[in-house]
Structure 1
Amino acid sequence: MKDKIAKADDDVQKIISRKRRKGDEDRKVGSDIFDKRTLETLYKLANQNYLDILNGEISTGKEANVLKGIKGDEYYAVKIYRIATSDFKKMNFYVDGDPRFKIRLNNKHQLITAWVNKEYKNLERLYKAKVNVPKPITSLNNVLILEFIGDEEGNPAKTVKYQKPKDVDRFLDDLLKETYKFINDAKLVHGDLSVYNVMNFNEKPVIIDVSQSVTSDNPIANELLKRDIGNLYNDFRKLGSQMSKEEIETAIGVEDGKILSLKK
């Protein structure tokens, strides 16, 4: 096992330390996210031809880092959940009650794997429903590989928090159309929809971070939906939108914070 870990560590460090492409100014990859389990997982993914290079950080969240991966001439987003710092109580809250995950998981490694699998399955469901989300590529243990959202030079798109839309109302209208499909076609509720979790890619919204998203029949779905509506209303009002909460609810097929109808 020690030899296996040492080889994984050596091979992944080679992947990480290869020469960056000219003009790349991404933040340096922090070594704190590469524990033994993660190193072995990345080694397996590289061995399965999903990755050639890890090329710097795209973003750092409370529980996960998103790195830029390269395979051939293609860029990918590589999301790595940090086992040591993840909020397992929160994860249990969103996993428990999801009909796709019947058993409450107390083992940290198993819960992280279930959490990553949950995000992957949510993205599959959303992508099939033609919601504008990153296409899921694969997942393994605490690592998720996604479609890269950015330009051909490898510059990642920014979230609305850091790149205000040129036409706020038009952007919000497009986002509400995506949210309608999110709820009524994919039958999911995001649960953390805000300017932090919507990317502005060429003035079009791309919804991200769907690990906590729950099915519409989950007991906490309406509670999360009300929170999403409140976030959208408050965030976009600060950006200059004049749309009311009632108009937002109508646009996404909701009344008084409750889903009016879902396709069977």
Structure 2
Amino acid sequence: MKKILDTKVKRLDTAVDKLRIKRKDSNTLKVTENVFDDATLKSLYTLSNKGIVEALGGSISTGKEANVFLGEGEEHDIAIKIYRISSSTFRSMEDYILGDPRFTNIRHNKRDIIFAWTKKEFRNLIRANEAGIRVPVPIITERNILIMEFMGKNEKPFPALKDIKLELEDGQLIFETIIDDMHKLYTKANLVHGDLSEYNILIDTNDLTPIMIDMGQSVTLEHPRADIFLKRDIENILRYFKRFKIDETPESVYKRIKNTGNEN
């Protein structure tokens, strides 16, 4: 029998119950049950007791491996990213974990891979933030849960690049910022994003600043496939920005990103 630790835990339980009541279709209910297993609830209790999570809000996004929820922190709204242990396709994670020198002692089982992946995203976000790239600032991890800065306003997340309409000039400026961020990520953070596209770049609607998200798969330059991932990121970005009349080739962008002489 679960023991109620304090009032904040009750609020977490109530929030989970409301999520289940609001969306009664079988697919959403199945996903919700896969997210909030007993182990994950215990981790949320731990974060609640530390004063990190005051309350759990509605869903922000649902991905192949994780769900992101709006949360109430001690002073600000937070994003609560929960990697699903029961239904994640963790085999695809191994390509990014194996070969990363930071995770040489990880056992090849599902739970350990997911816990390592959560820590990996936390560390990658720290590196990117320190390199001067706009990313959600990470706060803490607990097993399969990552707590980070909420990127949005008035409890609504900023839109993904794919969902926002831009004028030609704005699109060109955003492209230049993204390439500069990829350069900083490579030369200052020693990282390649590994899955960069219009789906995991948010746009701050206040000033049209791009925000990189979903950095769990980002690898260090020592990773044997780092260069392959970088070239794929470049191709994805150029494919999207063709509509803004960008006069660049994959080769020219590749040189710009790797050119250490461009650092400030």
TM-score category, normalised to shorter length: 0.7 to 0.9
1:253 is matched with which residue?
258
Distance, in Å, in 1 between the alignment partners of 2:165 and 2:182 is 19
Alignment counterpart, residue 222 of structure 2, candidates 211, 217, 231:
217
Change (3 A) 1:224 1:169: same
C-alpha RMSD over aligned residues: 2.8
Greater fraction helix: 2
| Greater alpha carbon shift after TM alignment, 3-12 vs 181-190 | 3-12
Alignment counterpart, residue 189 of structure 1, candidates 187, 192, 203:
192
- Match of 1:168, SS state, is helix
Which whole-Å deviations, capped at 9, do the CAs of 1:136-191 have from their partners, x for residues lacking one?
Answer: 0000111000111112x121101101113331111100111111101110010111
1:257 is matched with which residue?
none
2:22 is matched with which residue?
none
User: Identity over aligned residues, as a percent?
Assistant: 37
1:43 is matched with which residue?
45
Counterpart code for 2:147: I
Distance, in Å, in 1 between the alignment partners of 2:191 and 2:242 is 25
1:206 is matched with which residue?
211
Give structure 1 stretches of 5+ with no counterpart: 20-26, 255-259
Which whole-Å deviations, capped at 9, do the CAs of 1:16-42 have from their partners, x for residues lacking one?
Answer: 4689xxxxxxx9993441011111111
2:164 is matched with which residue?
163
The number of equivalent residue pairs is 249
Distance, in Å, in 2 between the alignment partners of 1:65 and 1:213 is 18
TM-score by structure 2 length? 0.85
Deviation at 1:200, TM superposition (A): 0.8
Distance, in Å, in 2 between the alignment partners of 1:5 and 1:107 is 31
Distance, in Å, in 1 between the alignment partners of 2:49 and 2:15 is 11
Deviation at 1:74, TM superposition (A): 1.0
Alignment counterpart, residue 148 of structure 1, candidates 138, 142, 150:
150
Q: Contact 1:237 / 1:243 at 8 angstroms: preserved in 2?
A: no
- Match of 2:162, SS state, is coil
TM-score by structure 1 length? 0.85
Deviation at 1:195, TM superposition (A): 0.3
Counterpart code for 1:221: A
1:229 is matched with which residue?
234
1:23 is matched with which residue?
none
Q: How does 1:1-264 map to 2 (within 5 A)?
A: 2-4=1-3, 12-16=12-16, 30-151=32-153, 153-166=154-167, 167-202=170-205, 203-238=208-243, 240-253=245-258
Distance, in Å, in 2 between the alignment partners of 1:262 and 1:184 is 9
Deviation at 1:247, TM superposition (A): 3.6
Change (3 A) 1:242 1:120: same
Give structure 2 stretches of 5+ with no counterpart: 20-27
| Greater alpha carbon shift after TM alignment, 117-126 vs 239-248 | 239-248
Counterpart code for 1:41: S
Q: Contact 1:16 / 1:53 at 8 angstroms: preserved in 2?
A: no
- Match of 1:252, SS state, is helix
Counterpart code for 1:68: L
Runs of 4+ in 1 over 6 A off after TM superposition: 5-9, 260-263
Counterpart code for 1:85: S
Q: Contact 1:118 / 1:211 at 8 angstroms: preserved in 2?
A: yes
Distance, in Å, in 2 between the alignment partners of 1:125 and 1:262 is 19
Distance, in Å, in 2 between the alignment partners of 1:105 and 1:237 is 42
Q: Contact 1:165 / 1:171 at 8 angstroms: preserved in 2?
A: no
| Greater alpha carbon shift after TM alignment, 180-189 vs 96-105 | 96-105
Deviation at 1:55, TM superposition (A): 1.0
Distance, in Å, in 2 between the alignment partners of 1:5 and 1:231 is 48
| Greater alpha carbon shift after TM alignment, 100-109 vs 9-18 | 9-18
